[in-house]
Amino acid sequence: MKESLKRIFAAVALDVGLGVREGTKLRMVGAMPHRELMHAIARGAYERGASLVDIQYDDQQLARIRADESRDEYLDEATLLLERESDVLVAERWSYLRLVGDEEPDAMEGADQARLTRIQRARGKAVVALRSARMASRIAWCVMPAATDAWARKSLGPGADSEELWDILATILRLDRPDPAAELRAHVESIQARSSALDSLGLRELHFEGPGTDLRVSLANESRWLGGADKTPDGEVFMPNIPTEETFSTPDFRGTEGRAVMTRPVRIHGSLVEGGHLRFDGGRVVEASADRGAEALRTFLDTDEGSRRLGEVALVDSANPIGKSGIVFDSPLIDENAACHIALGCGYDPGFEGAQAWSDAEKTTRGFNVSLVHEDLMIGSPQMDVTGLDFSGRRIPLIRGGSFV
């Protein structure tokens, strides 16, 4: 990674992604190839007055070894250390930055999906405090992509390397602009304006229509449209995802009906799922298949009760820089911003007015989905039409041919 780009990336992550300031405690998570970049971010954080920076490295090979070799009776274990760490990160209001870009994208291919689900379920229960704090915006958090050679070869072709992928990511992240931070903030304002416009329509339902897709998603009176940036109770402004092109809401899971076809592949527990088909009835996935990775998809659906229900619905203009690139990045963070998508699993509290004050039981009663997981599935395309229905029954065209009206 070029030194100049490294400094720009660090500044955007710290100033726009997280709003790091005097006294901030920062936890970073990434793969070993991101080590030098994370050191540059740590240096920038301390320059801005951060009190402590901690780095945690993913080890996909170790995760695969456990999935293959652990005794069956230990698969449902997650240490108290993990649970306590999650609690402390929330209690001390640590900011959280995750860099995504696999060191070995195919490390989990072929692993036993049932065993992986048990491991992920146990971990999800242990870190519930941290996950809940992020979903409710009680801490500042941000996820950004960071290139690796293996990821470049996977998404761009056998001869590609990380430098080539960085050139593409720089454009998508707006790091190649004269003032990247200003560009991103202006972009956030445009997304928030679109979200406000959608809120003003008083929508009760979205109707997605495209090749193989005929899906109706219910919105509650409490559903709110969000996008771009959020704010913690302490007033810290942060961007959960960079890049971001979506405006999204937390639906009433009870009203999801119809069929949806996945238009981009997604990795579930490390296994690639392509050509997925889902049928919803009464708010739940009742049928699921895929051209590739069907077992991973079906096993994911059995994680818990909420993994078969929707926690998010997002509208994306397919003419944005990611969509126009024509590249399938093999990264949910980027690919979800190329097309309209839905997410199975837990909802975002700020997208459902009042949810931050409710217990899980009350959330479920009101139609807000609760789950240990959250998985985005892309269903949009240049052939996608989306129509909104308001509470008077009026039909409002929102997207035609993949683009906002």
- Concatenating the DSSP letter of every residue in 247-268 gives EEE---GGG-EEEEE-SS-EEE
> Position 283: which residue type?
G
pTM of the model: 0.93
Phi, psi of 378 (to 5 degrees): -80, 130
- CA angle, corner 141, sides to 379 and 81, nearest 5? 105
Whether cis (ω within 30° of 0) applies to the bond prior to 105 is no
Report the distance separating Cα 320 and Cα 339, nearest Å: 9
Q: In this structure, what DSSP letter does residue 330 have?
A: S
Alpha-carbon torsion 239, 241, 243, 244, what sign? negative
What Å distances lie between residue 123 and 98, 193, 295, 371, CA to CA?
Answer: 17, 37, 21, 13
For residue 3, what are the contacts with CB-CB under 8 A and spacing of at least 6? none
pLDDT of residue 205: 98
Q: Where are the domains of the chain?
A: 3-172, 201-224+245-404
What Å distances lie between residue 247 and 8, 111, 172, 235, 255, CA to CA?
Answer: 26, 35, 17, 21, 20
- Cα 324 to its chain centre, rounded Å, is 20
> Position 193: which residue type?
A
Report the distance separating Cα 216 and Cα 252, nearest Å: 11
Determine the 3-state secondary structure of 380 from DSSP.
coil
Phi, psi of 152 (to 5 degrees): -60, -45
Specify the residue for token string 């659906």: 301
pLDDT of residue 33: 96
**225: which 2 tokens?**
């449209």
> CATH homologous superfamily of domain 3-172?
Thermophilic metalloprotease (M29) (3.40.1830.10)
Q: Which residues does the chain have with pLDDT short of 50?
A: none
pLDDT of residue 79: 85
Report the distance separating Cα 28 and Cα 99, nearest Å: 8
Determine the 3-state secondary structure of 169 from DSSP.
helix
Maximum distance among all alpha carbons in the chain? 58
Report the distance separating Cα 301 and Cα 286, nearest Å: 10
pLDDT tens track for 272-323: 999 999 999 999 999 999 999 999 999 999 999 999 999 999 999 988 889 8
Cα torsion 37, 38, 40, 44 to 10°: value is 140
**Pairing relationship of beta strands 141-145 and 95-100 according to DSSP bridges:** parallel
Report the distance separating Cα 324 and Cα 361, nearest Å: 42
Phi, psi of 197 (to 5 degrees): -65, -40
